[in-house]
Structure 1
Amino acid sequence: MNSTTDSEAILRGVLDRWKTAVDAHEPRRVASLFTEEAIFQGLHPYSVGRQGVADYYDSQPLGMTAAYRILETRRLADDLVLGYLAVDFSFTDRPMLSVHLSTLVERAADGWYISHYQVSRLD
């Protein structure tokens, strides 16, 4: 497996679980995919740690779903992968919201976790 393929597989491993938890509106499960000290920046003020992630996703409307597409990956170290993605958040009662997401996933003893998450709107 080449470096790009390997990096994409690592990102998909984490982000597929993130998408499943977001789509199911399970904020605690979403938060469990982040490191204890993760820096999280959605479209509200940033937070640090899993509780802030859980609070953010708990505030999202029921029925919100996410679809992502990996645009770029970089293997920054053996245990650190950078991802740049396009993400479409769909809602039951409003237009889709398209954003760009920069994320770092970091390897721990028991798997890969999101250590940095930053959403940008480019409109």
Structure 2
Amino acid sequence: MHEVLRRWKAAFDGHQPDSMAGLFTPDALFQGFGPTVLTGPDAVRGYYEAVPAGRRADVTVLHTYTVGEQVAGGFAAVTFGDAHGWEARVHLSLVLRRDDGDWRIRQYHVSRVDTEHSDLSR
């Protein structure tokens, strides 16, 4: 998880859509900020091509798990930002699959963190 997110952050910060797409499995499911669930590396590439250059991501891994030797997953806190003060805090959920000895993202989902509604028991 840590290595995949290190590569993801480097590709995101460097605005490298091809590198981003290469991190995903051919059958990947991707839910970013938009309302549509995307499928596969080509759709992921298109998503990241539309992200303005200069955006950065700060990533903190919160939890990881494994299921056997071929599947892993976890959660990370991510803060996206840019030099103009734009910022978005999210929780990122990943499911990873080992393909040909390399870990790739099989499922990607972001959920905005809204502190105003963080406690549903109120």
TM-score normalised by L of structure 2: 0.88
Residue in structure 1 matched with residue 29 of structure 2 by the alignment: 39
- Looking at structure 2, the residues matched to 110 and 74 of structure 1 have their Cα atoms a distance apart, in angstroms, of 18
Q: After superposition, where does 1:83-98 map in structure 2 within 5 Å?
A: 83-98=74-89
Residue in structure 1 matched with residue 50 of structure 2 by the alignment: 59
Return 5+ residue gaps in structure 2 as ranges: 115-122
> What is the Cα deviation at residue 93 of structure 1?
2.5
Percent identical among aligned pairs is: 37
Q: 1:69 aligns with which of 60, 65, 76?
A: 60
Letter of the aligned partner of 1:59 in structure 2? Answer: A
Q: 1:78 aligns with which of 69, 80, 83?
A: 69
- Looking at structure 2, the residues matched to 63 and 17 of structure 1 have their Cα atoms a distance apart, in angstroms, of 17
| Structure 1 position 28 matched with structure 2 position 14 | no
Runs of 4+ aligned residues of structure 1 deviating over 4 Å after TM superposition are none
More helix by share: 1
The Cα RMSD (Å) is 1.0
- Looking at structure 2, the residues matched to 46 and 58 of structure 1 have their Cα atoms a distance apart, in angstroms, of 16
Q: Give aligned pairs, total.
A: 113
* Bigger Cα Rg: 2
Q: 1:118 aligns with which of 79, 84, 109?
A: 109
> What is the Cα deviation at residue 13 of structure 1?
1.2
| Distance change >3 Å, CA 78–CA 110, structure 1 → 2 | closer
- Looking at structure 1, the residues matched to 78 and 45 of structure 2 have their Cα atoms a distance apart, in angstroms, of 19
> What is the Cα deviation at residue 41 of structure 1?
0.4
